[in-house]
Amino acid sequence: MRTQNNSSMTAPVPDAPSRSASRDGWRVAVLGMALATASIPIYIHLPGFAVSELGLSLAQVGTILLLIRIVDFVQDPLLGWMTDRWPGQLSRFAFLALATLAIGFVAVFSVTPPIAPSVWLTLGLLVTFTGYSLGAILLYGQSAAMAGSGDADAQFGLAGVREFGILAGVTLGAMAPALFGALSPSGSGYALFGWALAGLALVAALVARPLWRRPQIASMRLDLSGLRRSGAGWLLALALVNSLPVAVTSTLFVFFVEDRLALPDLAGPFLILFFVAAGVSAPGWSRLAARFGARRVLPVSMALAIVSFIGAYALPAGAALPFAVICVASGVALGADMVILSALFASTLSRAGLQAGQAFGFWNFCTKATLAIAAGVVLPLLQLRGFTPGAPNPPEALAALNLAYAILPCALKVLAIAMVLMLPRRVMDPDAFGTG
């Protein structure tokens, strides 16, 4: 791997990164909040929106999302390479990302398709996810620079603030269509939803401008062998497996509440409860990981998620209060997922002296791929089993929904726990091995 000269590798003043992170943490949170509205909320609302507003089928929606992920497979690492190649242009890249995100939101949710709905939706989602990808790569890469070192504790601290903002954005995105629907004469809040998210993206572009003034730490260019040797490749694999359960439950959440539990009026409140619990718990998980180590903390949070999945599987129709408790428990478990792995990844990159942009391009692709895999595989399978959203469904269709929502994520979490226990200790608890 090619390195820069020694003078460019001079470390920053030790306490400068932490001061910067403390001063600008709220800006990181606002940027994360705006970007997060294009992640899980889209997968929560898109199936229902595409079926009810555009007349598409669940199988078509799943196919579109999988096709977009094929584009991301090439695009996300390329966007990361671009931010590493021209670090002096981060501010312009950030504005481009958020402006593109705003255009995509309006195209998907607020504009009547001027061409075939499936084609228009595909194009709109490509624009939206391109903006989201570039923005997320910049957010995580610059967070690594703001924390300023390979010290995992510093990364955990900033990650707690960042992921709190992200989970706040997910919460707002999850509840917004229902709130706007109450204000719309037609009863559909999707058009206002698109415009509101576009406005939030542009506000975040202005708020986040000072973040790009801090230069990235000089480092070696990323290659696959460096990713593997540093241990970051192991973390990418774990993140991929560990993200699949929440991807499945996010995709099926509204269907599970409305059709399986027969509680259509409570889907919005349940979502809010879930993401608020995740956001509130995120800083606590970062402190626990800093004190006890990720290797000890992650299996606890994953076990809590498994208990929640099993509880959801056993619920009868109409069980509102027990499902509310499950939402809180599973949300708390999600808070750990959001904070710990991304902080470990950033710390590992910094300790190995690897550029963060392209690495987080791979990270971002893995996160989005799980959501697409969940939608592209589970939705068509449910349709084959006879499941139709919002319609009377036969018992076998509801049973398939129950298995997909609760048991499949449970099995994936068991696999994730096994990976945590099998990964090298230097990867899961890097600070135990010094800086060498």
Query: What radius of gyration do the chain's Cα atoms show?
Result: 21
Question: Which pLDDT score is estimated for 31?
Answer: 92
Which of 401, 286, 272 has its CA nearest to residue 335?
286
The stretch 226-241 carries a mean pLDDT of: 77
- CA nearest to 382, candidates 244, 260, 266, 274: 260
pLDDT tens-digit series, residues 291-313: 888 888 989 999 999 999 999 99
Asked whether the beta carbons of 88 and 143 are under 8 A apart, the reply is no
- The pair phi, psi for residue 252, each rounded to 5°, is -105, 0
pLDDT: which is higher, 187 or 104: 104
Domain boundaries of the chain, sorted by first residue: 22-433
Asked whether residue 41 carries a pLDDT value surpassing 90, the answer given is no
Question: Residue 15: which pLDDT band, with cuts at 50, 70 and 90?
Answer: very low
User: Residue 393 is encoded by which pair of tokens?
Assistant: 């469904």
Q: Each residue of 355-412: pLDDT tens digit? A: 666 677 777 777 777 877 887 788 888 888 888 887 888 899 999 999 999 999 999 9
Lowest mean pLDDT among 101-115, 203-217, 341-355: 341-355
Please state, in angstroms and rounded to a whole number, the distance separating the CA atoms of residues 340 and 169. 19
Q: Please report the pLDDT score of residue 433 as a whole number.
A: 37
Report the alpha-carbon distance of residue 111 to residue 218 in Å, rounded. 44
Helices of type H across 261-355:
267-292, 294-314, 320-352
Residue 223 pLDDT > 70, yes or no?
no
Is residue 122's pLDDT more than 80?
yes
* Greater model confidence, 232 or 431: 232
- pLDDT at res. 389: 82
pLDDT tens-place string over residues 153-170: 556 667 677 877 887 888
Position 343 pLDDT exceeds 90: no
Between the ranges 204-218, 241-255, 371-385, where is the mean pLDDT highest? 241-255
Q: Are 346 and 144 in contact (CB under 8 A)?
A: yes
Least reliable range by pLDDT among 120-129, 177-186, 269-278, 336-345: 177-186
Q: Would you state the structure tokens that stand for residue 131, as one six-digit string? A: 């903006």
pLDDT at 413: 93
Tell me the mean pLDDT in the region 32-56: 85
Q: How far is CA 434 from CA 143, 151, 152, in A?
A: 21, 9, 11
| pLDDT for res 1 | 37
Check: CB of residue 68 under 8 Å from CB of residue 168.
Answer: no
Residue 244 CA to residue 217 CA, distance in Å, equals: 32
With cut-offs at 50, 70 and 90, classify the pLDDT of residue 436: very low
**Residue 218 or residue 209, greater confidence:** 209
Pick the residue with more confidence: 346 or 272? 272
| Averaged pLDDT for residues 311-333 | 93
Contact 246, 128 (CB under 8 A): no
Task: Return mean pLDDT, the chain.
Answer: 80
Q: Please spell the DSSP secondary structure of 354-404, one letter per residue.
A: B-HHHHHHHHHHHHHHHHHHIIIIIHHHHHHTT--TTS---HHHHHHHHII
In angstroms, rounded to a whole number, what is the distance separating the alpha carbons of residues 148 and 220?
16
Residue that wins the pLDDT comparison between 239 and 14: 239
pLDDT, average across residues 230-257: 85
Whether the per-residue pLDDT at 5 is higher than 50: the answer is no
Q: 3-state DSSP call for residue 424?
A: coil
Q: Is residue 200 predicted with pLDDT exceeding 90? A: yes
- Does domain 22-433 fall under CATH 1.20.1250.20? My reply is yes
How far apart (Å, rounded) are the C-alpha atoms in residues 328 and 243?
Answer: 18
Q: How confident is the model at residue 256 (pLDDT cuts 50, 70, 90)?
A: very high
Alpha-carbon span 150 to 219, nearest angstrom: 12
| Residue 2's pLDDT band (cuts 50, 70, 90) | very low
Question: What confidence score (pLDDT) does residue 34 get?
Answer: 93
Helices and strands (H and E) in the chain: how many: 17, 0
